[in-house]
Structure 1
């Protein structure tokens, strides 16, 4: 376990903002013009001008022209593309227009967020309450995962269950008296934190997200349970990757160390452990695709597909959704992240969303398909596909920055029917008032 422990992720740069950016202007300051905001946000994400330009299909000199004011502020579609590349959470951070408080990569904040946060932050040092058995908590956790996969309003469902689950799992870990009991309780606690991360992700509390991810990693390491370790690492990788290109190396470090830990165990492993190893293998490909490393991305995807084929035909991992059925959806994601519009569409045609049993995961796949159609200059098909995502799980699309970017861009379309369709969808997902 020493090798895995050494890969525990550090907090992202935003946690160290007071130390790192004392002498750097704040992009929230009203006097800053668009180019200055762009330069500050690009620098904080660790991107060069060439890298930023490449992410939106332009050159480094074009990015420099925007930053220096030589070029005028671009149109909305380009601003949204820049916001996506920079993972800007609120569009006003980039534009400076305080009337544009549009959350892109953070949702509006779920009504149950405060209760979940309070449960995470609680510290049950002294209590007369006796914790339920680990087996009882595990059974409740399994029901919570099942409810998440089947509910269109999945955040509401798990948000209602999480506070008590977190409290009981914390107590069980604290009250366990023997070594085996403590390890079993820590495994359950880790997976409760993993479920919590699904709820907290893309909501306006980055500090809470990282606190949950770190606690999940620590509890999994204390448990010495390969499955719990793999799940905690899988979610930590995503948290790092979603923090931007400056954190891709941290994502890869956690990923590769965890795979090295799991590899010797796979010969006699359960389906769940085999699946989490496959899910981690795909994540390595996903990060490679975000880097633009085409060969590496597809090689990892192909390896993951081989691993998925070894699982039982009807198997579906309860946390990561890893299975043979998900590999078509993963192929769409790789192609989209590589900005391969035509390949994205071909992979979307080959993948079958109906075979994905999880409603939120099916909605996420539809969003990835829509990104592919949008890249391929098929905006009308992209909007139809986003409508299918909304039908599968409204809470998934409401918190997805990529979907919101497409909807906002097409709401400005010069084609009346397309503009009307995008505007109606914008109302449904809370971007525009009814």
Structure 2
């Protein structure tokens, strides 16, 4: 994968030696201390941690686990029989993923039950979005809600009696797919992500709802860009087509339509930043800011998080993607996280700030900022490839305080889970 693609947290397995080092650092032990407890020389521990010797036999592994107080053996050795792409961090992904996948594949037989009313579905979706933004364990919460929502909106589309009813049901179905896309992102099933994105786009287009079409385009552009440089053109195409549809209708448009237009402008800027096109990237960011300033001060788009509160956060990401170390830190220092009402979006902003500090060589500050991200929304940092890359690299730092801090974070975010 290109270095410009969003890091996939399942790409690089954590070796046994790295796991030993992380747990040793977490315990605050030196190699000499661990070696003494194991009855070996410190050079033996070094060879284990650096991978220059083969994994010890099971009795020795059990002794290491006992000394380091590792609760589960798999946390130390990993799933040695798994394929490389499932070997890192959380193996099969979130516990709720199988149920969500099954719901997407199911087609309830006609007559098994009636669809809830559009009003009920609207309220259910509003509650789901509120839970996503307000819960620290937001994936767990929405993962529990999605199977029922997916089934219900599907029934609503099938049972619609008039063209208007069908368009309303399709708009609700599209929104359920948008929520699903947030859940399946960064899970070890890329084909499922694309299937959800395509179904969301199809439902939005058939609904003829401008707001829904804009959101579907926004999500599609992200999926393309995160796939790497070979897909940047597709990301741009999706955004430009959506903007051609929305921008002529901005005069008198609802706040939601204005916001999704602003969010799409941000996406254009982020793709330009990935290409290192500085002028274009900041130009799009500034144009997005023009829309944000016209929205009410407390407005917050429930899907994209667009509004005045996140423009500073977007500025951090633009600077980081441009690899502008000094500018990214300036943006990070003046962008307030506390004003962002969504916990996962606030955590994502902290991760972007950490990327800025790391790019500028401020490693200790980056780790402290990742700790803030974890406090805001543990399930956001748990599935973020950028955060994991920083943590994993810092577990081998030559600075003891950074090693220990990173090792604790590695355990906190589940980096060692088999």
Say which structure, 1 or 2, has more relative contact order (CA 8 Å, 6+ apart).
Answer: 2
C-alpha contact (below 8 Å) 1:230/1:276 kept by paired residues: yes
Task: Give the ranges of 4+ consecutive aligned residues of structure 1 lying more than 2 Å apart after TM superposition.
Answer: 84-89, 97-108, 124-128
Q: Are the structure 2 counterparts of residues 321 and 103 from structure 1 closer, same or farther at C-alpha, using a change threshold of 3 Å?
A: farther
1:259 counterpart residue number: 243
Residue 193 (structure 2) pairs with residue 272 (structure 1):
no
- Equivalent positions of 1:19-418 (< 5 A) are 41=1, 89-92=10-13, 109-418=93-402
Give the secondary-structure state (helix, strand or coil) at the position aligned to 1:239.
helix
C-alpha contact (below 8 Å) 2:171/2:207 kept by paired residues: yes
Q: Are the structure 2 counterparts of residues 261 and 433 from structure 1 closer, same or farther at C-alpha, using a change threshold of 3 Å?
A: closer
Distance in 2 between the 1:244 and 1:280 partners? 19
Q: Are the structure 2 counterparts of residues 147 and 113 from structure 1 closer, same or farther at C-alpha, using a change threshold of 3 Å?
A: same
Q: Are the structure 2 counterparts of residues 331 and 105 from structure 1 closer, same or farther at C-alpha, using a change threshold of 3 Å?
A: farther
Give the secondary-structure state (helix, strand or coil) at the position aligned to 1:267.
coil
Give the secondary-structure state (helix, strand or coil) at the position aligned to 1:302.
helix
Unaligned runs of at least 5 residues, structure 1: 1-40, 43-51, 56-83
C-alpha contact (below 8 Å) 1:106/1:202 kept by paired residues: no
Deviations along 1:346-381, one digit per CA (max 9) or x if unpaired, are 001110000000000000000000000000000000
Give the secondary-structure state (helix, strand or coil) at the position aligned to 1:316.
coil
Residue 404 (structure 2) pairs with residue 420 (structure 1):
yes
C-alpha contact (below 8 Å) 2:6/2:385 kept by paired residues: no
RMSD of the TM alignment (CA)? 2.2
Give the secondary-structure state (helix, strand or coil) at the position aligned to 1:268.
coil
User: Rg: which structure is higher?
Assistant: 2
Per the TM alignment, residue 126 of structure 1 is displaced from its structure 2 partner at its CA by 2.3
Per the TM alignment, residue 432 of structure 1 is displaced from its structure 2 partner at its CA by 2.9
Distance in 2 between the 1:104 and 1:274 partners? 40
- Of stretches 301-310 and 107-116 in structure 1, the one that deviates more from structure 2 is 107-116
Deviations along 1:228-265, one digit per CA (max 9) or x if unpaired, are 11111111111111111111111111100001011122
C-alpha contact (below 8 Å) 1:104/1:401 kept by paired residues: no
Give the secondary-structure state (helix, strand or coil) at the position aligned to 2:93.
coil
Per the TM alignment, residue 333 of structure 1 is displaced from its structure 2 partner at its CA by 0.3
Give the secondary-structure state (helix, strand or coil) at the position aligned to 1:353.
coil
Per the TM alignment, residue 127 of structure 1 is displaced from its structure 2 partner at its CA by 3.0
Distance in 1 between the 2:88 and 2:316 partners? 21
Distance in 1 between the 2:351 and 2:144 partners? 26
Distance in 2 between the 1:114 and 1:236 partners? 23
C-alpha contact (below 8 Å) 2:355/2:366 kept by paired residues: yes
Give the secondary-structure state (helix, strand or coil) at the position aligned to 1:91.
coil
Per the TM alignment, residue 125 of structure 1 is displaced from its structure 2 partner at its CA by 4.9
Q: Are the structure 2 counterparts of residues 433 and 113 from structure 1 closer, same or farther at C-alpha, using a change threshold of 3 Å?
A: closer
Distance in 2 between the 1:124 and 1:157 partners? 23
Deviations along 1:357-413, one digit per CA (max 9) or x if unpaired, are 000000000000000000000000000000000000000000000000000111000
Unaligned runs of at least 5 residues, structure 2: 16-50, 52-78
Q: Are the structure 2 counterparts of residues 102 and 91 from structure 1 closer, same or farther at C-alpha, using a change threshold of 3 Å?
A: farther
C-alpha contact (below 8 Å) 2:13/2:88 kept by paired residues: no
Give aligned pairs, total: 353
Distance in 2 between the 1:165 and 1:398 partners? 25
Q: Are the structure 2 counterparts of residues 244 and 89 from structure 1 closer, same or farther at C-alpha, using a change threshold of 3 Å?
A: farther
